Amino acid sequence: MTTRMTRQRAAVAEALDEQDEFRSAQQLHEVLRARGDSVGLATVYRTLQTFADAHEVDQLRNADGEVLYRRCERVEHHHHLVCRSCRRTIEIDGPTVEAWAAKVGAAHDFTDIDHTIELWGTCKDCRG
């Protein structure tokens, strides 16, 4: 029931911290392998899921449906502007959209409103 600290979890957390961009579980697994920390792929998946459940990392899906993870600067609720090409990420907050989402939900008598708001674009460097 309790969460234990293991070499693997520490390694995943550390690898995650080194990334500036959103990364998939497989990419992180590769990063770990490259740096010499041997961690099973299944463990990487499990660990990331655990972190996400604990709101320690942010999670989103790219257009292909792959799940990407990232340790964000801010802990509070926020959204992202991600480069489709290099995945460079900018954290943004939108009090405007939060309010809008809540209002729309209430207007139609829906509860437990949750929203998926992500912006994708091409960053300056990837424009060529």
Report the alpha-carbon distance of residue 112 to residue 1 in Å, rounded: 27
For a copy of itself, which is the closer residue by CB, 37 or 98? Answer: 98
For DNA, which is the closer residue by CB, 49 or 105? Answer: 49
Residue 8 site contact among DNA, a copy of itself, none (CB < 5 to 8 Å, cut-off depends on kind): DNA
Residue 41 site contact among DNA, a copy of itself, none (CB < 5 to 8 Å, cut-off depends on kind): DNA
Dihedral over alpha carbons 70, 73, 78, 84 (to 10 degrees): -40
Residue 38 site contact among a copy of itself, DNA, none (CB < 5 to 8 Å, cut-off depends on kind): DNA
Exposed/middle/buried for residue 5 (C-beta within 10 Å: 0-12, 13-18, 19+): exposed
User: One symbol per residue from 37 to 76: x for binding DNA (CB under 7 A), - otherwise; what is it?
Assistant: -xxxxxx-xxx-x---------------xxx---------
For DNA, which is the closer residue by CB, 36 or 95? Answer: 36
State yes or no: residue 73 binds a copy of itself (CB under 8 A): no
DSSP secondary structure of 49-107: HHHHHTTSSEEEE-TTS-EEEE--S--SS-EEEEETTT--EEEE--HHHHHHHHHHHHH
State yes or no: residue 52 binds a copy of itself (CB under 8 A): no
CB of 79 to DNA, least distance (A): 20
- Give residues with Cβ within 8 angstroms of 85, minimum separation 6: 122, 123, 126
Residue 89 site contact among DNA, a copy of itself, none (CB < 5 to 8 Å, cut-off depends on kind): none
